C-alpha cells in the first residue's frame, strides 16, 4: 500500500468527548469516523485490525467444531416476547415497525433467534450437540454510549451458541470455548484475565468474563495474589466481618442537627465509620427496598437485583420514601414493617456489628448504641455489600488486588432458560422429550481492537501487537527529493512481496519528521528508514515501535532481517 493512497484522513482537532486513548488515537490517525452518537464508520486502518481479530476468532472457534452461520439482524418481536426480553431490554433495544405495523427490533444479541432456528430442524438426541456462531453487527441503544468503540450503539460481535442433550455436554462445550477464548486473546497480544462473572439468577460459577487489564476499563475486578480466584466484583460475596466489640447499652436517640451524611454523622458523634450503618433506598421494579450496609461499605447492586429477581433497578424517589415512611438523611429500619411493596434488607456484616449509630427516621436525630441483631426487628439478611480493598480472598483468605478491566468477552452456561420458553426440545433414545441445554459465548470484536490500544500505547501513538496491527511494516524514504533514496525504497517495497499486503511505503511528499510522527501514531510494529545514512554507509535503519530498538543493516540484508523480526514478534504474541 502506498501511503499517498491510504484512506486515513487524520484529524487535527479532537472532539471533547474523546477522553480515552483508543478513541483519541483512532480518530487522530484517521482509522474511523463518527457518524452519529455511538456509531462509527470503520476506515481501512481500523477495518484491517478488525478483520485480523475476526480471522483469529474464526481459526480458533472453528477448532472447537463450531460452524459459522449468519442470522438476521431485523427480528420479529414475538420471539422476544416469548422470553420476556422485549420488556427486559426496554429502552436499550432499537425497536421498529414494518409497513404493516408489525413490531421488530435490531438485534442486541441472538439467543431468541438462534434457539428458534435450531429448534426448527433439531428433534433428536442424535443431532446433538449443535454449535454455531456468527460475526456481525449488534445494536444496543446504550444509556451512555462513550469511549469510541468501547461502548458504542452499533458494534461488531462474535456470538456463539451451543445446544447439548445434557449438562455434561454443556460443560464440555463450555470448556472448549473457554480455552478457545484464552487462545484468541493471547494471540491478539492482550494482557487479560478470565474472571468469574455474575450469572444472574442461574448462580454458581456458570459464567466467565474475559477482562483486558486497563485503567480505563469500566469493570471492577478482584483477584487473589495467592490462589486462582479472580472475579468481577459484582459476582463476589465477600466474607462477613465480625465486629470485635460487645455492647450492653440500650439504644438511645441523640440530636444530630443537619448531619445527614454518614461521614457528617460519624464526625459529629466521634464514632468510627465501621460502627455506623448506611441506608440506601432502591426501587426494584415496583418494590421499594431499604438496603443497609456498614458505613464504609457499598451496596452490590447486581447482587441486590439478583436477590429480588428485579428487571429494573433505580433509586427510590422522594415520594417513594415518604410513602413508606422514611425520612431522607436519617433513615432507619427500626420500627418499620416489611410489606408487599416495601422490604428491608441488611448486609450480613451489619447484623454482626454492635454499638452502631444509624438514623432514627426523624429529622436531625440518630440512634446510638444500636445492636442491629437485637434492635432491627424483622429484616431480610443477606450478603449485599461489595468486596473492597480491606477484604481478603473469599476463597483462601489471601491478599487481594482490586483493578479495572475492559470486558472483551463472556462465556455463559445458559442451561434450559431459553430452550424451555422457545420450545427447543429433542427426543432421547427412549422417545422422551427434553429441553436442549444451551451455552452462549460472545466477543466484542470492535471493543477488542479498542482495548488493545488502551493497553498498548504511548505519548506518540498506538503500539499494536503485530497480530492485529493494520499493517506490519512501514518503509520511510527520509529524503523525498533524492530520486536515489526513493528508488531504493521502492525497490525494497517490491522485494517484500511475500508480505506485500502488510507493507506500506510512505511515498508522500512530506518531511521525514512528519512521516515518523505518523508512523508512530498509526503504530506500525516495524519501521524501515532509508535516508542519508544509507547514501553514506549503505545501511538502513530498522526500528521497533514497541521497544524503540534500532537495528542497522545493509539494504541488501534488510528484507531478511525484517522477516526474521516479524516472525519473532508473531511467535511471541508481541
Ligand atoms: P457491558 O457489561 O460492557 O455492557 P455486556 O455484558 O452487556 O457488556 P454481552 O452481552 O456479554 O455484553 O456482549 C458480549 C460482548 O460484546 C461483551 O463482552 C463486549 O465485549 C461486547 N459489547 C457489549 N456491549 C458493547 C458495546 N456497547 N460496544 C462495544 N462492545 C460491546
Ligand atoms: Mg457481558
- Please check whether residues 176 and 42 belong to one and the same domain: yes
Atom 26 of ligand 1 has which residue's CA nearest to it? 151
The alpha carbon of 140 and the centre of ligand 1 are apart by a number of angstroms equal to: 9
Contact criterion met (CB below 8 Å) for 350 and 293: yes
- Please check whether residues 160 and 56 belong to one and the same domain: yes
Structural domain count, the chain? 3
The alpha carbon of 197 and the centre of ligand 2 are apart by a number of angstroms equal to: 8
The separation between CA 278 and the C-alpha centre of its own chain, rounded to angstroms, equals 30
The alpha carbon of 207 and the centre of ligand 2 are apart by a number of angstroms equal to: 9
- Please check whether residues 371 and 265 belong to one and the same domain: yes
The alpha carbon of 531 and the centre of ligand 1 are apart by a number of angstroms equal to: 46
User: What pairing do the DSSP bridges indicate for beta strands 39-42 and 32-36?
Assistant: antiparallel
Task: Give me 240's grid cell.
Answer: 462477613
- 142 Cα nearest atom in ligand 1: 27
Range of the domain at 264: 252-382
Give the number of other Cβ atoms within 10 Å of residue 471's Cβ.
23
Residues, beta carbon < 5 Å, ion ligand 2:
410
Q: At 344, give phi and psi (nearest 5°).
A: -120, 125
- Please check whether residues 165 and 64 belong to one and the same domain: yes
430 is a domain residue: yes
- Please check whether residues 339 and 414 belong to one and the same domain: no
Helix (H, G, I), strand (E, B) or coil at 319: helix
Q: Which residues line ligand 1 (CB under 6 A)?
A: 109, 140, 142, 151-152, 155, 157, 407-410, 442, 444, 446-447
Residue with cell 461489595: 386
The alpha carbon of 152 and the centre of ligand 1 are apart by a number of angstroms equal to: 9
Task: Give me 393's grid cell.
Answer: 480472598
Give pLDDT tens digits along the chain (574 positions).
Answer: 999 999 999 888 899 999 999 999 999 999 999 999 999 999 999 999 999 999 999 999 999 999 999 999 999 999 999 999 999 899 999 999 999 999 999 999 999 999 999 999 999 999 999 999 999 999 999 999 999 999 999 999 999 999 999 999 999 999 999 999 999 999 999 999 999 999 876 655 699 999 999 999 999 999 999 999 999 999 999 999 999 899 999 999 999 999 989 999 999 999 999 999 999 999 999 999 999 999 999 999 999 999 999 988 999 999 999 999 999 989 999 999 999 999 999 999 999 999 999 999 999 999 999 999 999 999 999 999 999 999 999 999 999 999 999 999 999 999 999 999 999 999 999 999 999 999 999 999 999 999 999 999 999 999 999 999 999 999 999 988 899 999 999 999 999 988 999 999 999 999 999 999 999 999 999 999 999 999 999 999 999 999 999 999 999 999 999 999 999 999 999 9
Q: Which of 407, 412, 418, 453 to mutate to test the pocket of ligand 1 (most atoms within 8 A of CB)?
A: 407
Atom 2 of ligand 1 has which residue's CA nearest to it? 407
The separation between CA 84 and the C-alpha centre of its own chain, rounded to angstroms, equals 24
The alpha carbon of 250 and the centre of ligand 2 are apart by a number of angstroms equal to: 48
- Please check whether residues 448 and 475 belong to one and the same domain: no
CA distance 50 to 149: 11
Helix (H, G, I), strand (E, B) or coil at 450: helix
Q: Which residues, listed in sequence order, are joined to residue 150 by a DSSP beta bridge?
A: none
431 is a domain residue: yes
Burial 206-226 (b: 16+ CB within 10 A, else e): bbbbbbbbbebbebbbbbbee
Amino acid at each position: 500500500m502506498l501511503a499517498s493512497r491510504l484512506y486515513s484522513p487524520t484529524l487535527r482537532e479532537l472532539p471533547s468527548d474523546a477522553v480515552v486513548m483508543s478513541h483519541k488515537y483512532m480518530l487522530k490517525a484517521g482509522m474511523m469516523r463518527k457518524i452519529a452518537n455511538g456509531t462509527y464508520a470503520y476506515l481501512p486502518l481500523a477495518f484491517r485490525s478488525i478483520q485480523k481479530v475476526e480471522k483469529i476468532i474464526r481459526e480458533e472457534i472453528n477448532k472447537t467444531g463450531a460452524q459459522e452461520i449468519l442470522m438476521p439482524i431485523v427480528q420479529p418481536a414475538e420471539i422476544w416476547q416469548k422470553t420476556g426480553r422485549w420488556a427486559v431490554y426496554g429502552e436499550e433495544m432499537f425497536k421498529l415497525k414494518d409497513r404493516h405495523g408489525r413490531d421488530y427490533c435490531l438485534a442486541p444479541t441472538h439467543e431468541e433467534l438462534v434457539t428458534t432456528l435450531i429448534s426448527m430442524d433439531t428433534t433428536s438426541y442424535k443431532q446433538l450437540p449443535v454449535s454455531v456462531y456468527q460475526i456481525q453487527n449488534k445494536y444496543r441503544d446504550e444509556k451512555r454510549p462513550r469511549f469510541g468503540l468501547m461502548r458504542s450503539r452499533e458494534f461488531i460481535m462474535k456470538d456463539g451458541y451451543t445446544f447439548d442433550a445434557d449438562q455434561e455436554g454443556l460443560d464440555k462445550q463450555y470448556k472448549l470455548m473457554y480455552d478457545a477464548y484464552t487462545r484468541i486473546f493471547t494471540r491478539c497480544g492482550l494482557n487479560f484475565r478470565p474472571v468469574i462473572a455474575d450469572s444472574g439468577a442461574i448462580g454458581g460459577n456458570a459464567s466467565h468474563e474475559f477482562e483486558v487489564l486497563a485503567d480505563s476499563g469500566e469493570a471492577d475486578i478482584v483477584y487473589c495474589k495467592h490462589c486462582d480466584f479472580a472475579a468481577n466484583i459484582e459476582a463476589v460475596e465477600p466474607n462477613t466481618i465480625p465486629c470485635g466489640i460487645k455492647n450492653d447499652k440500650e439504644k438511645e436517640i441523640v440530636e444530630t442537627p443537619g448531619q445527614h451524611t454518614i461521614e457528617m454523622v460519624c464526625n459529629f458523634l466521634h464514632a468510627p465509620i465501621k460502627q455506623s450503618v448506611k441506608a440506601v433506598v432502591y426501587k426494584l421494579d415496583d418494590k421499594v427496598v431499604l438496603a443497609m450496609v456498614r458505613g464504609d461499605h457499598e451496596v452490590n447492586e447486581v447482587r441486590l437485583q439478583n436477590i429480588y429477581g428485579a428487571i429494573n433497578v433505580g433509586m427510590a424517589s422522594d415520594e417513594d420514601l415518604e410513602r413508606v415512611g422514611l425520612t431522607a438523611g436519617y433513615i432507619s429500619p427500626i420500627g418499620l414493617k416489611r410489606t408487599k411493596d416495601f422490604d428491608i434488607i441488611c448486609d450480613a456484616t451489619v447484623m454482626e456489628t454492635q454499638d452502631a449509630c444509624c438514623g432514627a427516621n426523624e429529622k436531625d436525630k440518630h440512634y446510638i448504641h444500636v445492636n442491629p441483631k437485637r434492635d432491627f426487628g424483622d429484616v431480610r439478611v443477606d450478603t449485599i455489600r461489595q468486596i473492597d480493598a480491606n477484604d481478603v480472598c473469599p476463597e483462601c483468605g489471601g491478599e487481594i488486588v482490586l483493578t479495572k478491566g475492559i470486558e472483551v468477552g463472556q462465556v455463559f452456561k445458559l442451561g434450559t432458560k431459553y430452550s424451555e420458553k422457545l420450545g427447543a426440545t429433542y427426543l432421547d433414545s427412549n422417545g422422551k422429550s427434553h429441553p436442549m441445554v444451551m451455552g452462549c459465548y460472545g466477543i466484542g470484536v470492535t471493543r477488542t481492537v479498542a482495548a488493545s490500544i488502551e493497553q498498548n500505547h504511548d505519548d506518540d501513538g498506538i503500539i499494536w501487537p503485530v497480530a492485529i496491527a493494520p499493517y506490519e511494516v512501514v518503509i520511510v524514504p527520509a529524503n523525498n527529493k533524492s530520486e536515489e533514496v526513493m528508488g531504493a525504497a521502492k525497490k525494497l517495497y517490491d522485494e517484500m512481496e511475500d508480505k506485500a499486503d502488510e507493507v506500506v511505503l510512505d511515498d508522500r511528499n512530506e518531511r521525514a519528521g512528519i512521516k515518523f510522527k505518523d508512523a508512530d501514531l498509526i503504530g506500525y510494529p516495524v519501521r524501515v528508514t532509508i535516508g542519508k545514512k544509507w547514501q553514506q554507509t549503505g545501511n538502513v535503519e530498522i526500528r521497533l515501535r514497541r521497544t524503540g530498538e534500532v537495528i542497522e543493516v545493509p539494504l541488501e540484508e534488510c528484507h531478511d532481517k525484517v522477516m526474521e523480526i516479524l516472525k519473532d514478534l508473531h511467535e511471541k504474541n508481541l
